[in-house]
């Protein structure tokens, strides 16, 4: 599974704080997603669901 962050990201950092294994804050001030390890799926979904601008999607 993979998490992606779209262009509506406002750089609040909530996802990186919730699931730092998957989400990082880039030099551009925005969040970036990545591969989701099996043991981080719940945390990644929590980060997606908590995003204030719904910028995160999770795909198989």
Strands (E), the chain: 2-5, 24-25, 31-32, 56-59
| pLDDT at position 40 | 98
CA neighbours within 13 Å on the CB side: how many for 33?
25
**Enclosing domain of residue 30:** 2-59
pTM: 0.95
Instruction: Give the count of domains, the chain.
Output: 1
Write out pLDDT tens, residues 10-50.
Answer: 999 999 999 999 999 999 999 999 999 999 999 999 999 99
Domain at 47, CATH number: 3.30.70.20
């Amino acid at each position: 599974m993979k998490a992606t962050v779209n262009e509506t990201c406002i750089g609040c950092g909530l996802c990186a704080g919730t699931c730092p294994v998957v989400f990082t804050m880039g030099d551009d001030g925005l969040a970036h997603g990545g591969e989701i390890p099996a043991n981080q799926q719940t945390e990644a979904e929590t980060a997606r669901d908590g995003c204030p601008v719904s910028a995160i999607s999770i795909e198989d």
